[in-house]
Amino acid sequence: MPKTLWIVLALVLMAGWAGAADLPVAPNGIALYPEFMSWKPLAPSYREDKGHIRLITANDVALAGLRAGKNPLPDGSVLAKVAWKAVKHPAFPVATEPGEFVQVEFMVKDSRKYAATGGWGFARFVGKELKPYGKDPGFVAECFGCHTPVAAKDYLFTSLPSVP
């Protein structure tokens, strides 16, 4: 192989490695999807008990599946739930809007890899540092447990909101 090809190959490998090394990875191997705010919106949500305001976004595979009424969603579907502290708008206090970033969570569909948890891989990244949540892969029991009541809806709480 000519020398330049080796150099190009080395650069490509380094770029790939640096990119992956930059992203936080959950204990079950799921890396952060940095494009979560560039996906299309599914729905807003609000948690009065936690004082959080949230936004659920979906990648194109998930959104197309939801629009087609697919249940379960196809492999490759990814949903993100972004949470912020709910704060009152300084210029209009009855309006509650996003304040400080709290965390982002993902559900990643791979029906074989995550067969034990309804085909979904779970991951949560907390705070400005996007610190991966959980000490070991067992953390998903908490996620899956809470999402089990909506098993009939492919373990999803959120559905497409009604729009004329």
Footprint on this chain of ligand HEC (rule: CB under 6 A): 45, 47, 54, 56, 79-81, 89, 92, 95, 105-107, 122-124, 133, 142-143, 146-147, 156-158
DSSP secondary structure string for all residues of 112-136: TTTGGGTTEEEEEEETTTTEEP-SS
Q: What burial letters (b/e) apply to 32-57, b meaning 16+ CB within 10 Å?
A: bbeebeebeebeeeeeeeeebbbbbb
* Closest among 154, 132, 147, 163 to 62, alpha carbons compared: 154
Binding window for a second copy (CB under 8 A); candidates: 2-10, 40-48, 115-123, 132-140: 40-48
Indicate which of a second copy, ligand HEC, none lies near residue 86 (CB less than 5 to 8 Å, by partner kind): a second copy
By CB under 8 A, tell whether 69 contacts a second copy. Answer: no
**Can you give the binding site for a second copy, defined by CB under 8 A?**
37-41, 43-50, 53-55, 57, 82, 84, 86, 89, 91-92, 94-101, 127-130, 149-150, 157-158, 161-164
